[in-house]
Chains A and B, each alone.
Chain A
Amino acid sequence: MEACNCIEPQWPADELLMKYQYISDFFIALAYFSIPLELIYFVKKSAVFPYRWVLVQFGAFIVLCGATHLINLWTFSMHSRTVAIVMTTAKVLTAVVSCATALMLVHIIPDLLSVKTRELFLKNKAAELDREMGLIRTQEETGRHVRMLTHEIRSTLDRHTILKTTLVELGRTLALEECALWMPTRTGLELQLSYTLRQQNPVGYTVPIHLPVINQVFSSNRALKISPNSPVARMRPLAGKHMPGEVVAVRVPLLHLSNFQINDWPELSTKRYALMVLMLPSDSARQWHVHELELVEVVADQVAVALSHAAILEESMRARDLLMEQNIALDLARREAETAIRARNDFLAVMNHEMRTPMHAIIALSSLLQETELTPEQRLMVETILKSSHLLATLINDVLDLSRLEDGSLQLEIATFNLHSVFREVHNLIKPVASVKKLSVSLNLAADLPVQAVGDEKRLMQIVLNVVGNAVKFSKEGSISITAFVAKSESLRDFRAPEFFPVQSDNHFYLRVQVKDSGSGINPQDIPKLFTKFAQTQSLATRNSGGSGLGLAICKRFVNLMEGHIWIESEGPGKGCTAIFIVKLGFAERSNESKLPFVTKVQANHVQTNFPGLKVLVMDDNGVSRSVTKGLLGHLGCDVTTVSSIDEFLHVISQEHKVVFMDVCMPGIDGYELAVRIHEKFTKRHERPVLVALTGNIDKMTKENCMRVGMDGVILKPVSVDKMRSVLSELLEHRVLFEAM
């Protein structure tokens, strides 16, 4: 039967109630059927629903309830037994399911409730993680700031930029109100405000370094909070700000670059520190966080490192600049020295010849003049001329010698000579002069002093003569004693010559000569100056004696060349002085070369005047030169052949020719080459003629070249008769001649 709206008006009143029941049941059934549908629909839509089984149960329960109510509809009117049975079945089922559901719900509802708690828990967790993330982010940012700060600080090597940048960056990163750096002053007793963030030019505030707060900060490597009222934090007048922000201070180690008096505080290390003060903005209620303090500490360390780098760099740049300057100066000095040496060498090269030629002429002619008929006054005049020119010649030779000595180009002429006669000759030379001054000269030669020695006789005589001459010059009365002996090893190591370490050997001995005079003596302070060129000790005695002051300087150099040492001892003015020198000489071999005891340079008088029949060959391409040389040699009695070319020369040369003069400045003809060929042709020494080079220029190079090709001598042209005579004489006697002129 269907319910319809058209209900019969004459129903009984309780039928109204029945009708309402009927309708409600219907709607309940409807609802009961639609609820599972809705559930299914929405659950299907949702992705997560863990209790499907419960849903089924619940659905069943609802459906059955609905069914029950639905079946109830039929029970309002008379119904059959089937309906009753269905009804009963439905109710029974419903009862079962509902009980089951009720039981199930006991389990489920707590679960559902706990979901809620879990949700809450998760939310809290999420909030916490968020916070932590925030923190990490902050830290990371801090780290980035530190890196950036470090980068900024380390990107420059200029001290001021480093410090300024530090303050600026710190100020920015930490949003500081003020940031300041206090540096220790030179004395180290105060800290001076050097850099600030806000103020452009900090006026020189200083605080004494002994303050407890400062000590506290310096003794720890952490950033410490300090009171805003401490002197380092009170930098500018706080105009009516109530709550100054928190202040933190940290030490910044500085590199030792200046002297630092540590007498005042022995308890601290010698390290110097600067103080960095950071102030948070006032009235901000901000606090210093741990990570910010860490940041500050790290920055302080970095600044220290950067500063030390900057300091090192500054130092090395300065050193490099200095070195460059010195280099330039040295280079300049070297070039100047070279120029000077070149100029001097050029000068010497010219003066060498130009000076000696006129001197030679003067001396030669004056000596010739001496031999002519002269009136006494004329003789006196000539003698004076001769003496002065000898002096001048000696001076010229001395100066030239000295420059050659300094040049290093002077070489000793080693030969065997009579040592005893050297001393005897000096004695003879000096005796007349000494007797005029009424000085007695005594000569003591030790018994073990060898008679013959090998060395440079001329230079040794020069040294002895100079020393003895000085002794005579500076003594007005008394005696001079000359002692010569062989120095033994103990006496060699004189404390006055500490850098002299002579080595004994079998071939050499050390000659020690002491010249003691009783003259005016020398001030011990002046002794070192004696051996310097051109320096003279100022005293009346020396004023009259003349001399250029070169003597001792030259002696010293000769002595040094002979691997010896020379010095002067004096106890003071008026106490006389002793000149001592030691030189190394060789032992002479007892060979056939031993000459007669009295052969000295004085023997130059015994020169052969004529060379009858001596066969001489002259090679020169200059006609005039040839004729004059021929005439010269002819005048001396020689049998002269002249040639003008190499071919002619080689054609004519034979064993009969004893001497060959060849011009080595012939253009186009290599005289040196010729000399070599002659050597090849005549291999035995006694067969070969004596080769002498004629040249217009006598310098070291020419001499060396001549020696190199085996020439026996070099002569400067033009040659005088006497010169030629002595040259031939010496050549024939010694087979060697290397006199310059």
Chain B
Amino acid sequence: MDAVTQWQKQWFDYTQSLRREGFLDDQFAQLKKLQDESSPDFVVEVVSLFFQDSEKLLNNMGRALEQNVVNFKQVDAYVHQFKGSSAWIGALRLKNVCINFRNSCEAQNLEGCLRCLQQVQQESSALKSKLEYLFRLEQQIVAAGGSIPIME
């Protein structure tokens, strides 16, 4: 088996594991579908945009939760945005954590919110590193002349 095929296999296994572990869902495949000749880096662009946005949102959320009088509505609005974005890129786990986060906001439970924020941050960074790895793998495959298999 040559390097490309090996990498392709690696890529396949990795995506499978990501799906299994719930990091990504069906929506990510949809994103992949949108990648074509006219927009070859569509997925990477969208994902980078997502992480940029999410960093800003996380900072805002953290600041809002540090206030003496916490404006839960504001925090909820941030989480809503975050949830929406996560849904669009198919980040399943992130989306679920956001759902919990929103519940805590509605219940005005500060402790719960802080816990959720921490979870979101953790999941976010985990996803980021995983996706970075995936993209590097893809770059390698493409550089070696192979083609990225279609995601199921």
Contact = CB atoms under 8 A, between A and B. Distances in A.
B85 A625 contact: yes
Contacts of A631: 31, 34, 39, 42, 46
A623 interface: yes
B121 interface: no
A200 B58 CA distance: 90
Contacts of A625: 84-85, 88
B31 A717 contact: no
A665 B38 CA distance: 31
A622 B152 contact: no
A696 B49 CA distance: 20
Contact of A624 (B33, B34, B50): B50
B90 A632 contact: no
A365 interface: yes
B81 interface: yes
Interface string A665-703: 101100000000000000000000000000010000000
Given A361-B26, A631-B39, A718-B30, A667 B85 contact: no
Contacts of B46: 624, 627-628, 631
A369 B150 CA distance: 11
A634 B39 contact: yes
Interface string A465-501: 0000000000000000000000000000000000000
Contacts of A334: none
Nearest to B29: A365
Given A622-B85, A624-B85, A718-B27, A635 B50 contact: no
Contacts, number: 73
Given A624-B89, A627-B49, A632 B80 contact: no
Range, interface on chain B: 20 to 34
Nearest to B42: A631
B84 A624 contact: yes
Interface residues of A, number: 25
B36 interface: yes
Contacts of A624: 46, 49-50, 53, 84-85, 88-89
B91 to A, nearest CB: 10
B87 interface: yes
A667 B81 CA distance: 9
The prevalent SS among residues of A at the interface is helix
A653 interface: no
B87 A627 contact: no
Interface in A330-369: 360-361, 364-365, 368-369
A720 interface: yes
Interface in B49-78: 49-50, 53, 77
A361 B84 contact: no
Nearest to B80: A667
B53 A623 contact: yes
B110 to A, nearest CB: 21
A361 B25 contact: yes
In this complex, which of A369, A634, A718 has the most chain B Cβ atoms within 10 angstroms of its Cβ? Answer: A718
A315 to B, nearest CB: 53
B93 interface: no
A622 B45 contact: no
A721 interface: yes
A721 B34 contact: yes
B89 A628 contact: yes
Interface of B: 25-27, 29-31, 33-34, 36, 38-39, 42, 45-46, 49-50, 53, 77, 80-81, 83-85, 87-90, 152
Interface of A: 360-361, 364-365, 368-369, 621-625, 627-628, 631-632, 634-635, 665, 667-668, 696, 717-718, 720-721
Nearest first, the 8 closest Cβ-Cβ pairs linking A and B are: A624-B85, A361-B26, A667-B77, A631-B34, A628-B88, A635-B34, A624-B50, A622-B84
28 contacts: A361-B26, A365-B29, A369-B152, A622-B53, A622-B85, A624-B46, A624-B50, A624-B89, A625-B88, A627-B46, A628-B46, A628-B88, A631-B34, A632-B30, A634-B38, A635-B33, A635-B34, A667-B81, A668-B77, A696-B84, A696-B87, A717-B87, A717-B88, A718-B87, A720-B26, A720-B27, A720-B30, A721-B34
